[in-house]
C-alpha cells in the first residue's frame, strides 16, 4: 500500500515537472526561432530575462546593453549566432541565438543602443585613481597602451569599439582575463595584444574605475 502511494507520488511529481517544462521552454525557444517577430518584441520577451527590459541588467553576470554601441552589439550577436565568441558564459547563455535573422539582429542592436545609457555611481578611492591612470596613460613599463586611445576619453566607445563606461565591474574584469588568457573572443585579437602584460591588481582597478563612470 505504502509502496503504491510512493509510486503514485513519483508519477504525479513527474507529470507536474513535465507540464512545467512544457510551459516554460518552448515559449522561450519560439521567441528566438520566429523570424516574424520584431527585434523589440524579442528584446522585451526574451533578452529582458537576463539583460533587463531597457538593457540595464542588475546582475554582474549579465552585461548591461543600454546605450552600447550599435555596431558593436551587431558584431557580438553575429559572433554568438555563429558560435565564434565561445567563452564559457557566452556559450552557455548566448549560443541559443542561432536562428535570429540579420534583420532581427539589426533591430535588437538598434533597440538596445538607443536606450538611456548605462551609468556608474561615481565612487572614489585609491583603486579607482590607479584605474583612471591606467585607462588614460596605459602602463608604459609593461607596454600596455592607454585604453582611452581606442575606447575614447570618456570610455563611450565608437562603432565596433565598445562603450565601457558604467558597465558591470565583474563583467569587465572577466572579459579582460578572457582576452588575456584565451582565444575565446577572436574579434578581440587587438585587445589580447594590448593587455597581455596587465597584472591582476591592475585589471581589477581599471574595471572598477570604468564601472563607476557616470558619463
Ligand atoms: C539566460 C540569460 C541571457 C539571455 C536570455 C540573453 N543573454 Fe545576452 N548575455 C548573457 C550573458 C551571461 C552574457 C555574457 C557572456 C560572457 O560573459 O561572455 C551575454 C552577453 C551578451 C552580449 C555581449 C555584450 C558585450 O558587452 O559584449 C550581447 C550583445 C547580448 N548578450 C545580447 C542579448 C540579446 C539581444 C538577447 C536576446 C535575443 C540576449 N542577449 C539574451 C545572458 C543572456
Ligand atoms: C587598439 C584599440 C584598443 C585599445 C588600446 C584598448 N581596447 Fe579594449 N577593445 C577594443 C576593441 C576593438 C574591442 C572589441 C573586441 C571584440 O569585438 O571582441 C575591445 C573590447 C574591450 C572590452 C570588452 C567589453 C565588453 O563589453 O565585452 C574590455 C573590457 C576592454 N576592451 C577593456 C580595455 C582596457 C581596460 C584597455 C586598456 C588597458 C583597452 N580595452 C584598450 C579596442 C581597444
Q: Tens digit of pLDDT for each residue in 35-56?
A: 999 999 999 999 999 999 999 9
What lies within 8 Å, CB to CB, of 215 at 6+ separation is 119, 154, 155, 156, 165, 166
pLDDT, position 145? 96
User: How many angstroms is it from 7 CA to the middle of ligand 2?
Assistant: 57
Distance CA 165, CA 149 (A): 14
pLDDT, position 146? 98
pLDDT, position 21? 40
pLDDT, position 31? 78
pLDDT, position 11? 52
Low-confidence ranges of the chain (pLDDT < 70): 1-30
Distance CA 50, CA 55 (A): 9
Cα–Cα nearest to 142, from 76, 202, 97: 202
pLDDT, position 115? 98
Mutation test residue for ligand 1: of 30, 60, 93, 111, the one with most atoms within 8 Å of CB: 93
**Cβ(80)–Cβ(94) under 8 Å?**
yes
Relative to the CA of 135, which ligand 2 atom is closest?
37
Distance of CA 63 to the CA centre of its chain: 3
Relative to the CA of 32, which ligand 1 atom is closest?
38
Pocket flag, ligand 2, residue 183 (CB < 6 Å): no
pLDDT, position 118? 98
Amino acid at each position: 500500500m505504502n509502496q503504491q502511494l510512493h509510486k503514485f507520488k513519483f508519477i504525479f511529481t513527474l507529470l507536474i515537472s513535465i507540464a512545467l517544462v512544457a510551459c516554460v521552454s518552448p515559449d522561450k525557444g519560439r521567441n528566438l526561432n520566429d523570424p516574424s517577430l520584431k527585434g523589440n518584441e524579442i528584446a522585451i520577451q526574451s533578452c529582458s530575462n537576463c539583460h533587463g527590459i531597457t538593457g540595464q541588467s542588475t546582475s554582474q553576470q549579465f552585461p548591461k546593453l543600454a546605450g552600447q554601441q550599435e555596431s558593436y552589439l551587431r558584431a557580438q550577436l553575429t559572433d554568438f549566432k555563429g558560435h565564434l565568441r565561445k567563452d564559457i558564459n557566452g556559450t552557455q547563455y548566448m549560443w541559443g541565438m542561432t536562428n535570429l535573422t540579420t534583420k532581427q539582429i539589426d533591430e535588437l542592436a538598434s533597440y538596445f543602443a538607443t536606450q538611456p545609457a548605462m551609468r556608474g555611481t561615481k565612487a572614489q578611492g585609491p583603486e579607482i585613481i590607479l584605474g583612471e591612470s591606467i585607462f588614460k596613460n596605459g602602463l608604459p613599463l609593461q607596454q600596455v597602451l592607454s585604453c582611452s586611445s581606442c575606447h575614447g576619453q570618456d570610455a563611450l566607445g565608437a562603432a565596433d569599439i565598445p562603450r565601457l563606461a558604467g558597465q558591470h565591474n565583474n563583467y569587465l574584469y572577466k572579459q579582460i582575463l578572457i582576452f588575456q588568457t584565451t582565444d575565446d573572443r577572436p574579434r578581440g585579437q587587438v585587445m589580447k595584444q594590448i593587455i597581455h602584460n596587465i597584472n591582476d591588481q591592475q585589471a581589477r582597478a581599471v574595471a572598477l574605475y570604468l564601472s563607476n563612470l557616470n558619463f
